Amino acid sequence: MKIILASASPRRRELMKMITEDFTAVSADIDETVPQNVNTLEVSEYIAERKAKAVAEKYPDDVVIGCDTTVIYGSKIFGKPATHEDCTEVLEYLSGKTHQVVTGCTIVQGNKTVSFSVVTDVSFRELSFDEIGDYAMTSEPYDKAGGYGIQGKGALFIEKINGDYYNVVGLPVCRLNQELKKFLKEK
């Protein structure tokens, strides 16, 4: 039995090493379309479960972990910006506000599935037009939900967080470690 992280994210792979060095990463290529009846705070968990189960079909004897991170303000979800315009629009929207970063995780082996979400509140200070434009000119925001990286120059926008820092990076290390230990013990 192996542990497989169903993710192509280099950040998740690095963070997973805090839990165990003994894992394999496999990209989960799924359609991330979410039915409209899924609650905004449950979207990450829904996608994480789809990722985990898609990879588990190929590796039925192994323990597969799927994760997905969303940035939410009110009922609006901000994904990865595709263009400079998308990025500046998202950052202008988040400027001066507190939003939620939700990472959903699913652990699957055979017929056993455990899912959970971790929510962290992130407060941005008021950002200037020039700050937003300069940041959007870098490569940093384009592979990150919400268009910023807390572990990079995006940290300059953040006044405070309430919750798990690593959750904002993309993997709630503490909670995942506890859930994985419990999952493996209950086999």
Domains of the chain listed by start with CATH number = 3-185 (3.90.950.10)
CA distance 5 to 21: 11
Residue 81 has a pLDDT of 94
- Active-site choice (68, 86, 121, 164): 68
How far is Cα 67 from Cα 50, in angstroms, rounded to an integer?
A: 9
Q: Is 68 a catalytic residue?
A: yes
Q: Please give the DSSP secondary-structure letter assigned to residue 125.
A: P
The CA distance from 133 to 160, in Å, is 22
* Residues in CB range of 161: below 8 A, 6 or more apart: 120, 121, 122, 123, 150, 168
- Cα separation values, 143 from 9, 17, 109, Å: 9, 21, 29
**Over the stretch 98-135, which tens digit does the pLDDT of each residue have?**
999 999 999 999 999 999 999 999 999 999 999 999 99
Share of the chain above pLDDT 70, in %: 99
| pLDDT exceeds 70 at position 72 | yes
Report CA-CA distances (Å) from 130 to 19, 67, 98, 125, 126.
Answer: 39, 33, 21, 14, 12
Query: For residue 36, what pLDDT is reported?
Result: 87
Cα–Cα dist 134/160, whole Å:
22
- The mean pLDDT of 22-34, rounded to a whole number, is 89
Percent of the chain with pLDDT over 90: 86
Q: CA separation (Å) from 72 to 13, 17, 19, 20, 61?
A: 23, 27, 27, 30, 35
Measured over all CA atoms, what is the biggest interatomic distance in the chain, rounded to whole angstroms?
Answer: 54
Question: How many C-beta neighbours within 10 Å does residue 134 have?
Answer: 11
Average pLDDT for the chain: 94
DSSP character at residue 131: H
